[in-house]
Structure 1
Amino acid sequence: MTAPNSPLPIADAPEPLEPALEPLLDASFDYSAAADGLATAAPLRARLLQRLQASKAASAGMVTARAARLPRQALAPGVQRRELYRMPAGRPARPGEPRRAGLISLDAGAVLPSYGDSALQREWLVLQGEVLIDGIALAARDYHVCLPRQASGGISSAAGALLFVRESLQPAAASDQALTVYDAEAGWADFAPGIQRRVLWQQDGQAALLYYAQPGAQVPQHRHGHDEECLMVQGELFLDDVLLQAGDYQLAPAGTGHQITATDTGVVIYAHGDLELQFTG
């Protein structure tokens, strides 16, 4: 077997933000109120207000979840869930839209007998620790897909773990099988200057991927043919004017786009969306 590519280095993240700056990370932050009075001030200030208003409008349909601020739901003794996204009821799903996405934390020795709707495809990514899913031993950055109608063998962790889970309605043929991608055995393909990626799963133009970017790397302006989900595994990333940190999540609906995708620290990202990005600039 060919040895995996050496992953790119990730710089240490900057010091935590001062409390006074934390509201700037809030997706609901009212930039217009913060810039009160600019419209009647000097032309430069007026342009800044227009830029803030345009940024707010562009991100209006996007969903941003801050892991540190999400409520925890107990699923079993020592097992908690934080909901990152839930598809609203009463409308058709967009291309690539998940039904649910969340973070599952297990204390040492915790067991979850089963999880989720067996009619949905469940994708698991281990973020921290080690875990048994359906009897399969998984460690950090290992990825596992449970197919629809596949019986759940439960989840357990001897020493504790943090998992990302994504549930979606995917057509499955009788010949389809569960899929596991082990971090230690998978390589990194060059994608763009300073960026490598790993395709974990793909079907009909959409894919689950890991991106590994070095400090200063950028992805060109692009649009989304499918809903694009980004989960920060390590490091920090700017998606336009939104700064995402480890554990944070953003869903950009199909038809939207990103002007800026850049990292100062270097980043590992789980992304679910287009297999091939639609570059527009």
Structure 2
Amino acid sequence: MSKSNPLDPDDRDETVERALSEALTPIPLAPSRGTPLRGRLLARAAAARVAGEGFIRVPLSEADWQRMLPGVRVHRIDPQQRAVMIELAPGASLPFHRHHENEECVVLRGDVRLGEIVVRPGDYHLAPADSRHGRVTSREGALFYLRGTPIGHPAEALRDLVSALVPGEGEPALTIRADDDGWQSRTTGVDARPLYHGADGHSEMLRIAPGTRLSGPLPLLGDECLLVQGDLGIDDWAMQPGDYQRSVGHDAGHSELASRDGALLFVRAGA
């Protein structure tokens, strides 16, 4: 019997198996190369693990959702920063209320309707202290982040509802769209869009280009950050949209940042 021809279309399975076998054959490295390479990889992994120890990390996949109202669920991300994630079912709403502190809102999914204002994914909305909101609704359902909210503090939430009955709209709200101008280059592959600046700190949105990789101290990540869109690796953590992180150590610092497809990141830093 003649030997099979590796190019014979009738021997496709055998040809594929042979090609895979050859491709998977290990390529040995000389000790002079393999040992240093292994050492560098282990050192890099250790540095990333240590860098992540100075932060509180709250993955959205581990959210402790609680029913707040019909069609409304809340996940308390960070009680110390009065930060929550809200999920509205289509047609659900939050009651009208007055703000007693600056409340920042970032939409991750769907639509959030504040009267005539419609806030969509990647948009930012600031409701200043003493401003008043009508009902907050959503036609298609929504997932959004709030910072500076009394949700989870019943007495304060009741105060906001009752004081909304007092006439007066207070300071006007601010809405910044994801596609608005004003982006500034921060470093290679990273643009920043200022959002809020006050006595209690400042906020900005970071737009991280696909393929970006940075190493060393990363102060641009601020004290708190929330991944809004895309993918982002920080140290040893592969963040997904809705994941949140806050620094808890004075000497906390990152060692590495990387994004394959690009990312949109909300960042908050103290004064």
2:223 is equivalent to residue 241 of structure 1: no
Unaligned runs of 5+ in 2: 1-34, 151-169
Matched to 2:112, the amino acid is V
Q: Determine the C-alpha separation between the residues in 1 that align with 2:194 and 2:215.
A: 19
- 1:263 maps to which residue? 259
- 1:208 maps to which residue? 203
Q: Determine the C-alpha separation between the residues in 1 that align with 2:215 and 2:221.
A: 17
TM-score, reference length from structure 1: 0.65
3-state SS in 1 of match to 2:61: helix
More helix by share: 2
Change in 2 beyond 3 A, CA 1:53/1:182: closer
Change in 2 beyond 3 A, CA 1:265/1:274: farther
Given candidates 109, 122, 147, the residue that maps to 1:128 is: 109
- Offset of 1:187 from its aligned partner? 4.2
Given candidates 60, 73, 84, the residue that maps to 1:67 is: 60
Change in 2 beyond 3 A, CA 1:204/1:243: same
Change in 2 beyond 3 A, CA 1:201/1:57: same
Q: Determine the C-alpha separation between the residues in 1 that align with 2:55 and 2:247.
A: 5
Q: Determine the C-alpha separation between the residues in 2 that align with 1:225 and 1:246.
A: 19
2:189 is equivalent to residue 194 of structure 1: yes
- Offset of 1:191 from its aligned partner? 2.3
Q: Determine the C-alpha separation between the residues in 1 that align with 2:177 and 2:189.
A: 23
Matched to 2:91, the amino acid is G
> Is the CA contact 2:108–2:241 (under 8 Å) kept in the aligned structure 1?
no
TM-score, reference length from structure 2: 0.67
2:127 is equivalent to residue 146 of structure 1: yes
Query: Number of residue pairs matched?
Result: 217
Q: Determine the C-alpha separation between the residues in 2 that align with 1:57 and 1:124.
A: 32
> Is the CA contact 1:70–1:82 (under 8 Å) kept in the aligned structure 2?
yes
2:88 is equivalent to residue 106 of structure 1: yes
Q: Determine the C-alpha separation between the residues in 1 that align with 2:234 and 2:139.
A: 36
Change in 2 beyond 3 A, CA 1:114/1:85: farther
Change in 2 beyond 3 A, CA 1:111/1:226: same
- 2:213 maps to which residue? 218
Identity %: 30
Change in 2 beyond 3 A, CA 1:202/1:218: farther
Matched to 2:267, the amino acid is A
- Stretches of 4+ aligned residues off by more than 3 angstroms: 42-58, 184-187, 223-227
3-state SS in 1 of match to 2:261: coil
2:51 is equivalent to residue 58 of structure 1: yes
Residues 99-141 of structure 1: CA distance to partner in whole angstroms, max 9, x if unpaired?
22221111111011157x9433210011122122365322222
2:268 is equivalent to residue 272 of structure 1: yes
Unaligned runs of 5+ in 1: 1-41, 88-98, 170-174, 276-281
Q: Determine the C-alpha separation between the residues in 1 that align with 2:104 and 2:260.
A: 29
Matched to 1:67, the amino acid is L
Q: Determine the C-alpha separation between the residues in 2 that align with 1:226 and 1:219.
A: 12
Matched to 1:84, the amino acid is I
Change in 2 beyond 3 A, CA 1:263/1:151: same
CA root-mean-square deviation? 3.3
- Offset of 1:58 from its aligned partner? 3.5
> Is the CA contact 2:48–2:256 (under 8 Å) kept in the aligned structure 1?
no
Q: Determine the C-alpha separation between the residues in 1 that align with 2:254 and 2:207.
A: 18
- 1:229 maps to which residue? 224
- Give the stretch that moved more between structures: 176-185 or 190-199: 176-185
Change in 2 beyond 3 A, CA 1:185/1:44: closer
Change in 2 beyond 3 A, CA 1:164/1:83: same
Matched to 1:270, the amino acid is F
Task: Please say which structure displays the higher CA radius of gyration.
Answer: 2
Matched to 2:101, the amino acid is L
